[in-house]
Structure 1
């Protein structure tokens, strides 16, 4: 599926005036990407003036735009507050990030646990964006 087909799929379903999240084809990944400390330096909400001057990590820009062009969904999910939406969107556009959506208000700190009725894959950013590889790891699951 190319990016035009994904865009069409995302804008297609509307029920009673509200956007409905589509079921994506199996080959399309839905990436939730953090901003601070992941695609650029770690800029805390308490220092919003730094948001306008920080630079993106080049490997992040290249990799995320490649995934977007391959037809995957790119959603930035950040601890930045709603007050910082405009400067964040301006920053993303200024640096050429292609994305589908931006969610504000992610919990701060790294000790949160996502519980969902769908399979959730998590990848910890450790300093460089590359293509993803499969590895076997130990995870916490609910007891049967």
Structure 2
């Protein structure tokens, strides 16, 4: 079981790999109540760790409404769908702008006021526990390292 490490202790300290990312082997993701507080009725702006097909930017904005719906803005594309939280996992089901459906679940870690998303889905396009994105509430200035794109 990972050790619980406070956000203050890790805010400006690199993990064992020398990165300023949470280390899932040593840190505990947000629990159900923390995820609900961080996402319900909130808009996050952030950056991906990858580029999506036909979208030139890493930046995104996402509103996770209290009624369980979501709108995800990435470049000039909009994905709509639903979100839910169970235990320490947040999951999304999107009706993608290109006509497909996408499902993704994440553990989320917090450092300072920044949220680090680690994908949990598997399969040919799975995220496999890897760091995928970082976000902050849209009305806040991020205090995490490295600076957001």
TM over 0.5: no
Higher RCO (CA 8 Å, separation ≥ 6 residues): 1
* TM-score in terms of structure 2 length: 0.27
* TM-score in terms of structure 1 length: 0.28
Higher fraction of strand? 2
Q: Tell me which structure has the larger Cα radius of gyration.
A: 1
Higher fraction of helix? 1
